[in-house]
């Protein structure tokens, strides 16, 4: 199916040769896929029905030599190759990551150097699971003001390290990286049409990381799923309304994965049929900020997402962040 009509946001010229384009995308999942049987035992074993409700049948965990930096480099190289762009042509590199944060030095400059992106200004960005979409918005602003021409936004996460050993989170959390190459006035590839961001500091304490580095949730799962669904609906509605679109105009909705319960809550709230929601959660798990680019690469490489089709992606991050992006490939 194709979107019925698309009206660019008012501050963008209605000209196919101008604006910010997505010229390449790529992803990387480390190692061999791990079924449940290959993982450490749980404190309380799951019944088969409980395992089905979790919804993940296999996932990838990073082990030496895989790190946030090496996964980011691999995903970036694949995106650059698809874009036909040399690393030295990049003016900007943004790394989204929260699972392996460092005080100093941060990782983006190291990734830029390892890629050969010697002319790129490189920096890290957090925003938890919303980091990749926030990175797209930041890169769009840098490119649109004319100071830079090409940018790489890459999300790389070792989410598995944030799951308490023996907890059910070990069956959901996984690792991976995904990247987009963006170019101003490229006149080729897909178009980054618009994006919307939101924060809510009153929700700041919903989740945190304990002294051992493991994620803790301070809200019942049903309430958390409802909050995620409302946040995604609000920010998605903002970007659609601003572009005179409805959910009927969207070819594909590619959200952050979260959990199976969160995905169900989002589907229940949004007026979009399940057949137009794309997620590789069962085979990739929750790879946090990398979820959107990993899923986009997965489905575009298999021909499910086709050039010119209209995609809406949305994600949330503890803090509280929400983001949505409207684009084509």
In whole angstroms, give the CA distance from residue 292 to residue 78.
16
Burial of 226 (0-12, 13-18, 19+ CB in 10 A): middle
CB 323 within 8 A of CB 130: yes
Q: Residue 280: phi, psi to the nearest 5?
A: -105, 30
Residues paired with residue 255 on neighbouring β-strands, in sequence order: none
Tell me, what DSSP letter sits at residue 223?
A: H
**DSSP category for residue 46:** P
Please state the separation of Cα 49 from the chain's center in Å. 29
Catalytic annotation present for 126 = no
How far out from the chain centre does Cα 310 lie? 17
Q: What is the chain's Cα-based Rg? A: 19
Distance CA 312, CA 249 (A): 10
Q: Annotated catalytic, 214?
A: no
Choosing from 97, 256, 280, 298, which is the catalytic residue? 256
**Which one of 60, 97, 127, 129 is the catalytic residue?**
129
Burial class (CB in 10 A: 0-12, 13-18, 19+), 298: buried
256 labelled catalytic: yes
Distances (CA, A) of 219 to 142, 203, 206: 37, 10, 6
Q: What is the phi-psi region of residue 288: left when phi exceeds 0, alpha when psi lies from -120 to 50, beta otherwise?
A: left
Enzyme catalytic residues = 129, 256, 286
């Amino acid at each position: 199916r194709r979107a019925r009509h698309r009206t660019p946001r008012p501050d963008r010229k209605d000209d196919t040769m101008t604006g910010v384009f997505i010229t390449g995308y790529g992803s990387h999942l480390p190692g061999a896929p791990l079924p449940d049987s290959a993982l450490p035992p749980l404190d309380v074993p799951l019944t088969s029905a409980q395992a089905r409700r979790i919804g993940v049948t296999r996932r990838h965990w990073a082990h030496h030599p895989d790190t946030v930096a090496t996964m980011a480099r691999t995903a970036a190289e694949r995106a650059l190759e698809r874009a036909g762009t040399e690393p030295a042509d990049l003016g900007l590199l943004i790394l989204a990551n929260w699972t392996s944060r460092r005080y100093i030095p941060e990782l983006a400059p190291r990734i830029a150097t390892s890629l050969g992106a010697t002319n790129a200004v490189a920096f890290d960005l957090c925003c938890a699971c919303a980091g990749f979409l926030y990175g797209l918005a930041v890169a769009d602003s840098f490119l649109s003001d004319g100071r830079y021409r090409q940018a790489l936004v890459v999300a790389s996460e070792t989410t598995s390290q944030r799951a308490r050993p023996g907890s059910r989170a070990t069956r959901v959390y996984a690792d991976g990286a995904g990247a987009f190459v963006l170019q101003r006035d490229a006149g080729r590839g897909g178009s980054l049409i618009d994006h919307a961001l939101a924060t809510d500091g009153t929700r700041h304490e919903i989740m945190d990381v304990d002294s051992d580095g493991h994620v803790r949730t301070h809200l019942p799962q049903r309430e958390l799923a409802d909050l995620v669904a409302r946040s995604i609906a609000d920010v998605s509605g903002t970007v659609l309304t601003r572009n005179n679109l409805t959910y009927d105009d969207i070819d594909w909705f590619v959200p952050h994965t979260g959990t199976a319960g969160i995905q169900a809550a989002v589907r229940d709230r949004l007026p979009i049929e399940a057949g137009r929601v794309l997620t590789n959660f069962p085979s990739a798990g929750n790879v946090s900020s990398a979820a959107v680019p990993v899923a986009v690469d997965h489905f575009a490489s298999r021909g499910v997402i086709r050039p010119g089709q209209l995609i809406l992606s949305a994600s949330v991050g503890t803090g509280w962040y929400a983001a949505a992006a409207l684009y084509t490939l």
